[in-house]
Amino acid sequence: MLVLNILVCGGAGYIGSHMCHWLQAHGHSVAVLDNLSTGHREAVRWGEFIRADLQDRSSLDQVFAGRSYDAVMHFAASSLVGDSVRDPVATYQNNVTGTLNLLEAMRRHGVGRLVFSSSAAVFGEPRADLVDELHPLEPINPYGASKRMVERILADAAASYGLRAVALRYFNAAGALAGAGIGEAHACETHLIPNVLRSAGGSGPKLSVFGNDYPTPDGTCIRDYVHVADLASAHGLAIEYMLAHEGFHAFNLGSEAGYSVMEIIATAADIVGRAVPFEFAARRAGDPARLVASSAKAERLLGWKRDWTDLRSIIESAWQWHRQQPY
């Protein structure tokens, strides 16, 4: 097996920490770059921790100096859509300028491979039941626009400098590895499944369900959920793909199956053993009725196959982690 040295930017966060667990389990050497603005030091359990900030160019040189990396995985970003609307400049500085600083440091130190954590937000309003990579890129908020900008930068850098880069567009990351002690721990939680579980478990407020008049079977939004461990495996396959392929490539990562908000609530209530307190609220601007990915390209070219294939097991894994938490 080929052993690689990987720098994981944002490795103290939700997806990044699961990525580090996957890399070490597969024999790779890991270094974690994180400024701990939203990540957690206790989540860095696999590999060397380097406290640095993508906004600080001098600290990046210290990260790369004296070390040899085969590739970089980039998870560090401002990820809250609402915050991006309230303060778009801060989002662009963190997501776009931070990535430019990282790319410049990689060039200075001769590192030519990058896996980028992108998002379904690059697509905007879906025009198809299954969103594939040919879908127009029309982001409707600054967060999605920042991810789209970075994808364009990576494509241009690949064409001009020979960078090898893969952008992986997640739809909804979910679940946890409770046995490894890591899960979805956000100070400001906006994702549906953890908020449903907190409401059901009594550690969170009553859940707000935004809209019940969508053109879906039960009137609530339908979304696509992928276990975070399956996202990690896709990143590992992306590294292998870059070793064999030049240029920039983008892949959608989803389950090709959608679940409504009410289906999530019903499944969580059954798992937890108590009802989820919720109330209907007005629709949120920009929320499409349905957003589900086609992952055919990732399956065909990366050889990606999900191990977590049903909604119940994904939510159960998240609940196992949540019930271990002190809140």
pLDDT in tens, 87-103: 999 999 999 999 999 99
The residue annotated as part of the active site, out of 14, 143, 225, 241, is 143
Instruction: Please tell me the predicted confidence (pLDDT) of residue 286.
Output: 73
CATH class of 5-174+225-253: alpha beta
Beta bridge partner(s), residue 30:
6
**How far apart are alpha carbons 140 and 217 in whole angstroms?**
26
- For 246: left if phi > 0, alpha if psi spans -120 to 50, otherwise beta; the answer is beta
User: Which pTM value belongs to this model?
Assistant: 0.94
Which residue stretches of the chain have pLDDT < 50?
Answer: none
**How far apart are alpha carbons 325 and 327 in whole angstroms?**
6
- How far, in Å, are 50, 87, 167 from residue 99 at the CA level? 17, 18, 13
> Where are the domain boundaries for CATH 3.40.50.720 in the chain?
5-174+225-253
**How far apart are alpha carbons 83 and 78 in whole angstroms?**
8
Instruction: Please tell me the predicted confidence (pLDDT) of residue 21.
Output: 96
Cβ distance 133 to 252 under 8 Å? yes
| Cβ-based neighbour number of residue 213 at 10 Å | 11
**DSSP label at residue 178:** G
Topology (CATH) of 179-223+256-322? UDP-galactose 4-epimerase; domain 1 (3.90.25)
**How far apart are alpha carbons 205 and 185 in whole angstroms?**
16
> Which of 155, 157, 126 minimizes the C-alpha distance to 139?
126
Instruction: Please tell me the predicted confidence (pLDDT) of residue 202.
Output: 81
**How far apart are alpha carbons 191 and 71 in whole angstroms?**
30
Instruction: Please tell me the predicted confidence (pLDDT) of residue 11.
Output: 94
| Residue 214 falls in the annotated catalytic set | no
**How far apart are alpha carbons 281 and 228 in whole angstroms?**
29
**DSSP label at residue 47:** S
